[in-house]
Each structure stands twice: as structure tokens, then as C-alpha cells.
Amino acid sequence: MTNHRRSTSVDAYVGCRLKQRREDLGISQERLAELLGLSFQQVQKYERGMNRIGASRLFQLCGLLGVEPSFFFDGLTLALGPGVAELPNEAETLSTASLLSAPGALELLADYARLKSSAQRKKVIELIRILADDD
């Protein structure tokens, strides 16, 4: 039997957006959990995309974080419905959601964003490309 309730890359993306907004507002996981009536571990699971965020909880988060529901989905692209065929190019197959759900991706992105020098950022990208090509 297939578990239709398991989390997906979309859940990871929504969790990433939750974490981003929470941090932008300077709210701790503990404080957000308190406001939601949850444990901070549950907030962690939401942010990592391990647990799905239900519609009513998402609506509650919008009020607490001062964003519209669309905030959590900005940057995602919709998949075509059944019977609609289109050949995806390579960039489309590596969606933002799937990239962010890769292990360590959020930490890498957070550290990368802290780099002040564009030269350093270019070197990091160059290093990652070299390491990826070694496989």
C-alpha cells in the first residue's frame, strides 16, 4: 500500500520558506512553536520538510508571519496536468524544490549567502562544479 501522506520536495520548499521568513523576523523555533501550540521539534520537522504543513496550519502561519499563502510557494512551477505533454529541458527537471530537498542544501545555501565577496562566491561555485564532475 502506498503512503500518500509522505512529505515531498514541495514540502521541503515550503519548509525552507518558513525557516527563511522566521529567521528574517528574528523569531526562534521555540517562540514560533509556542505561538502555534506545538513543540519546537515539530517546527523543525516542518522547516526540514520532514512533515507536511496542513492548510489550516499554513493559514495560521501566514497570520503569525505576516505573509500571504503564496509566499510559501513563490518560485515553484506547476506540473502539467495529465494528458499534457511537454519535453522538459535540463533546468526544469532540477526544480528549486528538488534542489532544496537535497541533503545539506539548506545549510550550503545559508553559508553561501553569508559570503560577502563575489570572488569568494565564484570560487565556491567553481569548487562545487569540480567536485560534482569527479563523480
Q: Let me know whether 69 and 123 are in one domain.
A: no
Residue 93, in any domain of the structure: no
Domain containing residue 118: 103-135
Rounded average pLDDT over 57-62: 96
Cβ neighbours for 53, distance < 8 A, ≥ 6 positions apart: 11, 14, 15, 18, 46, 61
Element housing 91 (H / E): helix 90-93
Residue 78, in any domain of the structure: no
Look at residues 57, 73, 89 and tell me which one is the last residue of a structural domain: 73
The pLDDT assigned to 31 comes to: 96
- Residues 59 and 65: their CA atoms lie apart, in Å, by 10
Give the confidence band of 82 by pLDDT, cuts at 50, 70, 90.
low
Look at residues 28, 55, 73 and tell me which one is the last residue of a structural domain: 73
Asked if residue 59 has pLDDT above 80, the reply is: yes
Task: Report CA-CA distances (Å) from 77 to 16, 31, 44, 107, 118.
Answer: 16, 32, 25, 23, 29
Please give the mean pLDDT across all residues of the chain.
81
The pLDDT assigned to 102 comes to: 72
Q: Pick the residue with more confidence: 92 or 58? A: 58
Give the confidence band of 103 by pLDDT, cuts at 50, 70, 90.
confident
Longest dimension (CA), the chain: 51
Asked if residue 87 has pLDDT above 60, the reply is: no
Helix (H, G, I), strand (E, B) or coil at 26: coil
**Number of domains into which the chain is organized:** 2
pTM greater than 0.75 (yes/no) = no
Asked if residue 15 has pLDDT above 70, the reply is: yes
Residue 1, in any domain of the structure: no
Residue 79, in any domain of the structure: no
Q: Let me know whether 57 and 111 are in one domain.
A: no
- Residues 102 and 97: their CA atoms lie apart, in Å, by 9
- Residues 49 and 118: their CA atoms lie apart, in Å, by 30
- Residues 79 and 103: their CA atoms lie apart, in Å, by 23
Asked if residue 33 has pLDDT above 50, the reply is: yes
Residue 44, in any domain of the structure: yes
Residue 128, in any domain of the structure: yes
Rounded average pLDDT over 67-84: 75
In 3D, which of 2, 11, 17 has the Cα closest to residue 50?
11
